[in-house]
Amino acid sequence: MSALLDGTRLKGRTKEAPALAVGLPQVNLLPAEVYAARGLRRTKRLLLVAVGATVLACMGGYVLAVQDAGRADDQYATAQLRTQDLMAKQASYREVPLVLGQLASAEAAEKLGMSTDIEWAKYLDAITVSLPKNVSIDTMTVTGPTPMAPVQQSTDPLLGQTYGSIQFTAKADTLPDAADWMDALDKIPGFSDATVSTAQIGEDDDSGVHYASAVTVQLDAEAFSHRFDQSEGTK
């Protein structure tokens, strides 16, 4: 009887226990220090993870920096070898700038020295061709400029800019036409302001009685040959 009653009581308690457990309030009796200690441990673990990640990142950066430094050293060594090679080659050509400088000086001196060059033979031939019939040249004087001494300009206001002159005397059996003669001389490129200053009768043992004429021809800028003005590459 008591066993049955005890069983009935036990079964009754077992069925009612969950309902009583849900409805009863719960009280946390753990001290606040325990929760603080648990939070501190979690914080330490997070800090440890963060420090570890930072250390790994620093190590990775260090490795990359070492690799970059190694590559830079290799490039520097290669550049040094290249520089040494270029310096050695440059030493073999050390006389080239000196030779080029001397060549430039020689070309400048040639250009200055020949800046007033006139092809006299060509002009003497042109004067001979322009002579009237039965006229021959007796004497000739040529006045030309030099790079250091330009020709003294004439004070005659009728004459333009001159760079020299050719004066000659000519003999003729008959009196030549001075106007036609001067026109022929002025048509020669490089000649200007041709004049026949005197025409008189003379006599000598070679030609006997003859007419003597004094002729002057001025040289203008076109008389210069400019043969040495061009550079070596355009000659």
Token match 């440890």: residue?
48
The ranges assigned to domains in the chain are 120-223
| Three-state secondary structure string covering 154-175 | CCCCCCCCCCCEEEEEEEECCC
Backbone angles phi, psi at 95, to 5 degrees: -85, -10
**Does residue 165 contact residue 137 with C-beta atoms inside 8 Å?**
no
CATH fold of the domain at 120-223? Alpha-Beta Plaits (3.30.70)
The tens place of each residue's pLDDT in the chain, 235 residues long, gives: 444 445 444 444 444 444 444 556 666 666 677 666 667 778 878 888 888 888 888 888 888 888 888 888 888 888 888 888 888 877 777 787 888 888 888 777 767 667 778 888 898 899 999 999 888 898 999 887 777 766 666 656 566 677 888 999 998 888 888 899 999 999 999 998 898 887 777 776 665 678 888 999 998 888 888 877 765 444 4
Q: Which residues, in sequence order, are CB contacts of 177 under 8 Å at separation 6+? A: 132
Rounded Cα gap, residues 218 and 190, in angstroms: 8
> What separation in angstroms does the CA of 178 have from each of 175, 184, 210, 212, 216?
8, 10, 15, 12, 12
